[in-house]
Amino acid sequence: MYSLKGKVAVVTGAGSGIGRALAQLLAAKGCTLAIADINEVGLKETAASLPTPPLVQKLDVADRNAVYAFAQRVKNELGTAHVVINNAGVAVSQTVENLSYEDFEWIMGINFWGVVYGTKAFLPMLTAQNDGVIVNLSSVFGIIAVPTQGSYNAAKFAVRGFTEALRHELADTGVSAICVHPGGIKTNIAATSRFYVDPSGVSDRTDAAASFAQMAKTTPAQAAQTIVEGIENGKVRVLIGADARLIDIIQRLMPVNYWKPMSALMRSLRK
């Protein structure tokens, strides 16, 4: 079992949602925290909720130089890092045909390149001490593809492949890589997304956000608990929520034709 007490934990996207819940739980486990987010207001609120003042950094994870500077700051001020959770993420909801390159590049910069930068900036610390965990947030949309989620799927499938390759490379070392696949989590990602149309054809943001809220059954605190338990128990793949576990089963049973039962499941979850 991996002990978190006394370890240095880094969490991106810590200004709200899963990131904030992770920071709070890791602090309760005895970690020293370095937290980052582009949202300074949310980041300060998270910091204020922790029992001990963390290292706080406003950070755009799509900025490679900024991520490397953050890693250097963590090393300079906290000595090292042990647990690095690349959690920051955004969403775009639009058909492939109508998806702009600007939106595609924006989501890939945060959801994929942000994970790559966070991994590569901190990994040398972990491998040098032969102790640590890289935790990368994919999604159930890194397991199945959904209409209007082509860019999000592209990023989350990429995170999955990247993290699984890293896991194989780290085999037989003291460093591990975990890929996390959350289902519907009660966060503000839908409300703050670049939204144009959802899989059911809804183009009203308010209606779409309400539908997402109906489908999102897992709280950020529950998600954080599952992730931290995965770290402690040496898991390499973490599914969050009953919906994620069900989606995983459906995809395994119907690897090509999963969308028909999945679309019916999504409709039922809205009720």
Catalytic residue among 2, 68, 117, 152: 152
Bridge partners (DSSP) of residue 137 are: 180
Q: What is the pLDDT along the chain (271 residues), one digit of tens a residue?
A: 999 999 999 999 999 999 999 999 999 999 999 999 999 999 999 999 999 999 999 999 999 999 999 999 999 999 999 999 999 999 999 999 999 999 999 999 999 999 999 999 999 999 999 999 999 999 999 999 999 999 999 999 999 999 999 999 999 999 999 999 999 998 878 777 899 998 878 777 777 677 776 677 899 999 999 999 999 999 999 999 999 999 999 999 999 999 988 888 777 655 5
- Quote the tokens at residue 210: 């309400």
Query: What was the pLDDT predicted at 193?
Result: 84
Judged on CB neighbours under 10 Å (0-12, 13-18, 19+), 71 is: buried
Q: Taking each helix axis as running N to C, give the angle between helix 40-48 and helix 17-28, from 0 to 180 degrees, rounded to the nearest 10.
A: 20
| CATH H-level, domain 8-269: superfamily | NAD(P)-binding Rossmann-like Domain (3.40.50.720)
Q: What is the pLDDT of residue 263?
A: 85
Give the integer Cα–Cα distance in Å for 229 and 174: 18
34 Cα distance to chain centroid: 16
Q: Using the 8-state DSSP alphabet, how is residue 110 labeled?
A: I
Domain ranges of the chain: 8-269
Rounded-to-integer distance, Cα 20 and Cα 13, Å? 8
- Let me know: does 236 contact 245? Beta carbons within 8 Å: no
Supply the Cα-derived Rg of the chain in whole angstroms: 18
Q: At which residue do the structure tokens 């896991």 appear?
A: 167
CA 55 distance to own-chain centroid: 20
Q: Find the DSSP H helices in 149-191.
A: 150-169
Q: Which residue's structure tokens are 């183009």?
A: 203
Long-range contacts of 218-223 (CB under 8 A, 24+ apart): 218/182, 218/183, 218/184, 218/185, 218/186, 218/243, 219/21, 219/185, 219/186, 220/17, 220/18, 220/20, 220/21, 220/185, 220/186, 220/187, 221/21, 221/24, 221/25, 223/18, 223/21, 223/182, 223/185
Known active-site residue 196: no
Cβ atoms of 41 and 16 within 8 Å: the answer is: no
pLDDT of residue 271: 55
pTM above 0.85, yes or no: yes
- Report d(CA 224, CA 242) in Å as an integer: 15
- What is the spatial distance between Cα 120 and Cα 184, in angstroms, rounded to a whole number? 28
Distance CA 94, CA 198 (A): 7
